[in-house]
Amino acid sequence: MKLGEQAAQNDGKLVPHELVFNRCHKRNKGLGPFVDEKSKRTSETYTKLKESHSQSCGDAVLSPQGSSTFIPEP
């Protein structure tokens, strides 16, 4: 499945950058191991930053574009 098709199945919403990065930098269409150590470190660093940002901002979360956006819980 291509990323454009995935976005279409995601009700037309943007696909998160993390998903795109993993799909491009992991083997077996994002399901296998990372292709190299640098890609793995980059993904881990992004995840840590995302978690620390969401903890320090309360209900604000990173939007798929990476900027801080308030998204109320349903």
pLDDT in tens, 47-63: 898 888 877 776 555 55
Higher pLDDT, 25 or 74: 25
Please choose, from the candidates 52, 51, 50, 55, the residue with its C-alpha nearest in 3D space to the C-alpha of residue 67. 50
The model scores a pTM over 0.85:
no
Give the pLDDT confidence score for residue 68 in this predicted structure.
47
Q: How far apart are CA 15 and CA 58, in angstroms?
A: 23
Give the pLDDT confidence score for residue 70 in this predicted structure.
47
39 pLDDT band (50/70/90 cuts)? very high
4 pLDDT above the threshold of 80: no
